[in-house]
Amino acid sequence: MTVPVIAIDGPSASGKGTLAARLAEKLGFHYLDSGALYRVVALRALRMGVAPADGAQLAELARTLPVSFRDHAVLLDDEDVATAIRTEEISMLASGVAVFPAVREALLARQRAFRRAPGLVAEGRDMGSVVFPDARVKVFLTASAEVRAQRRYKQLIDQGLPANIDALLQELRARDLRDSQRAVAPLVCAPDAILLDTTGLDPESAFAVLERIVQGH
């Protein structure tokens, strides 16, 4: 039988990571944070001085990326970069990295390799539309830009990182535009995906709705 996949897509700071990780833990499924792969490519490129516009070199980095995931750690050359890849600088760079078709192609097989028994919860921008088009359940998670900016602000402050709410809102809107207009695998709600708007929901309520969606499929 085909290993079941639950695909959760949506814009930045919509709550995908928190909800997807919690759902995977509850179901006993594997978990894929696809955005982490693009963030690690961006971090690697920044450290190596690769120009953000050099698609060919970025794709080569993606193909040879020495990255692995262990529990909550994201290991790059055995260094845990889980915190380093969550800065706003890396978030914006990762969005730029993701527009290059060669980078996306280089990471496609690596993402699909996460599909292992008993199942997978995969979250990102194109999990249901491109990476796992046969996913058993597809959810498009969203919220207003203002609410997402507030959530990201709190997340950064809680991590002890600097943040400015107005700058975050502008960056989120810019990233939404870039992600939705890129030529390859744009951010889009798949025709067979269920839209879940969490603008007025707290984390517990949002997870309860997500659970009902999954149980109904």
Quickly state the pLDDT bin for 1 (edges 50, 70, 90). Answer: low
- Which residues share a beta bridge with 76? 67, 79
Which own/partner pairs from 165-171 qualify as long-range (CB within 8 Å, at least 24 positions apart)? 167/88, 168/88, 169/145, 171/88, 171/91, 171/92
Query: What CATH number corresponds to the domain at position 59?
Result: 3.40.50.300
For residue 111, the enclosing domain spans 5-215
Going by pLDDT thresholds of 50, 70 and 90, the confidence category of residue 155 is: confident
Task: Note the pLDDT tens digit of each residue in 17-47.
Answer: 899 999 999 999 999 999 999 999 999 999 9
User: Total domain count for the chain?
Assistant: 1
Residue 3 has pLDDT above 70, yes or no: yes
What does the pLDDT read at residue 86? 86
Contact 138, 190 (CB under 8 A): yes
pLDDT at position 88: 80
Burial of 69 (0-12, 13-18, 19+ CB in 10 A): middle
Report pLDDT for 50: 96
Q: What does the buried/exposed string (b/e) look like for 200-212 if buried means 16 or more CB atoms within 10 Å of the residue's CB?
A: ebeeeebbebbee
**Of all residues in the chain, what percent carry a pLDDT higher than 70?**
100
pLDDT digits (tens, 9 = 90+) for 161-190: 888 999 999 989 998 888 888 877 888 899
CB 200 within 8 A of CB 143: no
User: How confident is the model at residue 111, as a pLDDT?
Assistant: 93
* Helix H or strand E segment including 76: strand 73-76
C-alpha gyration radius of the chain: 16
Give pLDDT tens digits for 57-109. 999 999 999 988 877 789 999 899 999 998 888 988 998 898 899 999 999 98
